[in-house]
Amino acid sequence: MLDASSRTRRFLGRHLFAYLAALAVVVIALAILLARQPLAEAWRDFDRRLVLPVLLLSLSNYLLRFGKWDYMLRALGERVPLGLNLRVYFSCLTMVVTPFRLGELYKLVFLKRLHAVPLQRSGAVLLADRLTDTIAILALASLGVGSTGGAFVTKLVVLLLLTLAGGVLLSRPMVQDFLLRGLERIPLTRSRAEAWAEAFSGGARLFSLRILLPTLAVSVAAWFAECVGLYLILVGLGTSISLQQASGIYAAATLAGNLTFLPGGLIGTEAVLLGMLRQASVAAGPAAAATLLIRGATLWFAVSLGLVVSLGSRKALRWNEVSREAADYS
């Protein structure tokens, strides 16, 4: 008997493309309804020559993060063929706007189905991937809104030390046993407690300095590319905001959107972006236009790329089988 979460996952797996189309229509309709006039005025004045560079910056974000994902899998001894791994990674971008973080779950099941990667290994990579992304976004937010370079460096050093301390702790057998006992006491995690413990152990290996420092550097570069994208959009709209301000605003909005746990950070990211741009003395029209344009060039561009890859590789990726198995892991 499936619970409500499992039924929702299964429904989305079977009707994913219809769901995405309906969501896109709703978002576009709301954008037109709420900001039609200021958006039209701002778009009229926007330097359209910047559209391609902004999209290329977003694409570089996805490619850099894929490179980090592939590198961490290889660090754990999982050598997935590059073409297959690339198709899996980009097809899962389609599901960035689905509830329950389906894209992450499907990514793990794809690798298990198509290349026999144990869920514990891919789960460890997912844990390290999310952690390094979070630290990178926090670092960029600190750089953008911090009053001094010294304050930024202090925050970044603290974040790195906390991450390394967490990795060292997770690598200790005593800590792993403690986590295993704790997971066995929780009804939701009891059946897969050993798998989670192995994922934590694998994640600890990814926190060594040899692996952590390059992955963090790639994460910062990837997210900074999208910060530059927002800056170019604001320049194209005729604002005088600095790259440092734009980076802080975009990183803070991205973090806020992730904390809402809504699909793709919808509503939360847009609200923080708009509010912080207005606080930075950007006029209402350009602020609304910049918010919608950067979300289109990042979130919806990712979904579009994922759709292209998913539709072109649906049979090769055995989508229906993966959908059923992913629902069983709910």
Q: CB neighbours of 53 closer than 8 A, spacing ≥ 6?
A: 229, 232
Which sequence spans correspond to the domains of the chain? Answer: 4-124+218-328
Of the ranges 82-86, 108-112, 124-128, 151-155, the best mean pLDDT one: 82-86
Of the ranges 56-60, 235-239, 309-313, the best mean pLDDT one: 56-60
Q: Which residue has the tokens 């290329």?
A: 56
**Cα–chain-centroid distance for residue 220?**
13
Please check the confidence at residue 298 and state whether its pLDDT lies above 60.
Answer: yes
Closest CA to 127 of 102, 108, 100, 141: 108
> At 257, is the pLDDT very low, low, confident or very high (cuts 50, 70, 90)?
confident
205 versus 148: the higher-pLDDT residue is 205
The number of residues in the chain equals 330
Of the ranges 6-20, 47-61, 95-109, the best mean pLDDT one: 47-61
Please check the confidence at residue 217 and state whether its pLDDT lies above 90.
Answer: yes
Of the ranges 38-52, 124-138, 190-204, the best mean pLDDT one: 124-138
pLDDT in tens, 170-188: 666 676 667 667 766 766 5
> At 94, is the pLDDT very low, low, confident or very high (cuts 50, 70, 90)?
confident
Q: What is the mean pLDDT of residues 265-271?
A: 82
Please report, rounded to a whole number, the percentage of residues in the chain having pLDDT higher than 70: 67
CB 128 within 8 A of CB 216: no
The rounded distance, in Å, linking the Cα atoms of 262 and 235 is 30
Please report, rounded to a whole number, the percentage of residues in the chain having pLDDT higher than 90: 25
39 versus 283: the higher-pLDDT residue is 283
DSSP H or E run through 277: helix 268-279
For residue 197, the model assigns a pLDDT of 65
Q: What is the mean pLDDT of residues 150-163?
A: 61
> At 235, is the pLDDT very low, low, confident or very high (cuts 50, 70, 90)?
very high
DSSP code for 92: G
CB 132 within 8 A of CB 203: no
Q: CB neighbours of 125 closer than 8 A, spacing ≥ 6?
A: 69, 72, 73, 76, 78, 202, 203, 206
HEC assignment per residue over 125-188: HHHHHHHHHHHHHHHHHHHHHCCCHHHHHHHHHHHHHHHHHHHHHHCCHHHHHHHHHHHHHCCC
Please check the confidence at residue 15 and state whether its pLDDT lies above 70.
Answer: no
As to burial, measured by CB atoms within 10 angstroms (0-12 exposed, 13-18 middle, 19+ buried), residue 80 is buried
Q: Which long-range contacts (CB under 8 A, 24 or more apart) does 200-203 make?
A: 200/124, 200/127, 200/170, 200/176, 201/124, 201/170, 201/171, 201/176, 202/76, 202/120, 202/121, 202/123, 202/124, 202/125, 203/124, 203/125, 203/127, 203/128, 203/167, 203/170
